[in-house]
Structure 1
Amino acid sequence: MDIKSLRYFYEVARLGSFTRAAESLGVAQPAVSMALRKLETELTLTLLHRNDRRISLTDEGAILYRHAEKILRAADDAALEMSELKGLTRGEVRVGVPSMLGSFYFPPILMAFRHRYPTLNLSVIEGGTWRLQQMLEQGELDLGVIVAEFVPEELEARPFLREQMLVTVSQEHPFAKQESVTPEQFFREELVMFKEGYFHRKVVDRLAKAAGVTPNIGFETNLLPLIKSIIKQGFGISTLLGMVVEENESLVTIPFDPPIWLDLSIAWRRNGYLSRANQAFVAFLLEHSGC
């Protein structure tokens, strides 16, 4: 029985929701669903009642839940004790994350990391991927999140997240009724963009170059709430990760045709020293991202 699948099962059972469990674990919801199906197949048992959006334990699931609680507590205690033996009672992690991920993807991961390693100092800096890359190369950061396709030779990286870039419009925009949007259609509109140096802008600039067009950028800002507000009021459209747009925000997201996927990596200097504290953070991030 895989400890990761057991942890996923425990969180779903504890919170009564695949969505909330995924948020708590800091992973994508499909990864949680897949792990649960794999666990049920392995045990040849049904562990959960799945009635619409309501999740409840079967009799077999209730028994496993009691065991899982004890097993996971023992595993966490063992991991903490071993980390202390390796000298992880002291140390600092300096990590840079892009704005979109810093606000939506990383908070639960950072809090969970602090819970596992409460004596480590954690310093988090938000910024554009280009600036984070420069800070890594200059030794101002230990770790940084950058776009996988732009990793330079000076850095070593491990992919941890794949997200789809989605066209984001107001509910009244004509695109809101479409199933997809082509790059040609997208670039006919006035755009609201992050400034240069952010992965959001890099993706759009690359797309425009491939289409042979110059983007009509009406607004440039690194403030995500402002971008959303401008879109809601119908003064432009943008492209954002699905994770940053909530259902109650009066915004609509539509995939590109063809779809545009963004692969992100955690990176560090190839020839630099990666401390045990930073090694622990990389391992923790990859563990919680399902990689």
Structure 2
Amino acid sequence: MPAESLVLPQEITETAVPEEAALGLDGESQSHDLLSALLRSVRLSGDRIVAYAPPRIFSIGFAGVGSLHFVEEGGLALRIGGHPRVEHVSRGDVVLLPRGDRHYVSDTGGGTRAATGADSAESDAPGPARWLCGTFTIGDPQASHLLGSLPAVIILRAGGSPALEGLEVARRMLLIEMESPSQGSAVMVARILDLIFIQILRAWAAGSDAEPNWLAGAFDPQIGAALSAIHRSPDHDWTVEELARACNLSRSAFAARFLARVGKPPATYLAHVRLDAATNLLRDTSLSVALVAKNVGYTSEAAFSRAFKNRYGTPPAHWRRDLRTH
């Protein structure tokens, strides 16, 4: 059933993320900004904001875009893809689906019970649902393991995170741009959505229940140093011993801590970072496959091509050709 919505605007200017900033991301004294690396590698940017106020019985599908839901009134049921689990969210909750997984937002069932003849259920049904939905353009969802390894959904419950105070300010700013659009509103909406995306990921990664992941590892005071080294110089022939020294840990303690925080061994993580860097070079430069392989740390073009094909299902030259013909 279609929902009543207010959309601003139809076309949103892409948010630019500078390659180098005053933070000195290329300096040895500064830690590598992995979250900014994510935004660059997948070319993610805020898109648009929609206000939903549907009838009591509804189901709205989303697919192919990163999505953000601010629940303003009532309750919602969230189903992701074909998974049977249903997440229930209510007023004040904030939901982020960073990978763009297909999902459905629907009523919580009160209206359905009433429709089947259970008249007494109507008094127990939640009030009409109302929420804001922001979307994010994901320019290259297949090019980065950073995006793919994030959880399908992150939920910040009302009153459960200090980050919600800042998110409430951002929500009010979005409402102002929706209710009184003016020159620059398109870019304002895009920038605010970007900030919200970052803040939610920060809050999730810093939480005690964050699953093993590169971002959770980046917040670890010891493992973060190893991740910074890998991302800063993916072409270097990193050994576990070198990375352990960077973290002031023994080899065994480092390997165990890295696996616990990041969810994969250092060598596997390094291979993923190298292939991510390779896709950027194949897409954005005219370097030969041999030079791309060398620039991301492979001593053999054949070895690089095998690793690339195992990851993406096609050799690097074909990947580049297919990308440019679409």
* Structure of greater Rg: 2
Larger fraction in strand: 1
Q: Which has the higher contact order (CA 8 A, sep 6+)?
A: 1
The answer to whether TM tops 0.5 is no
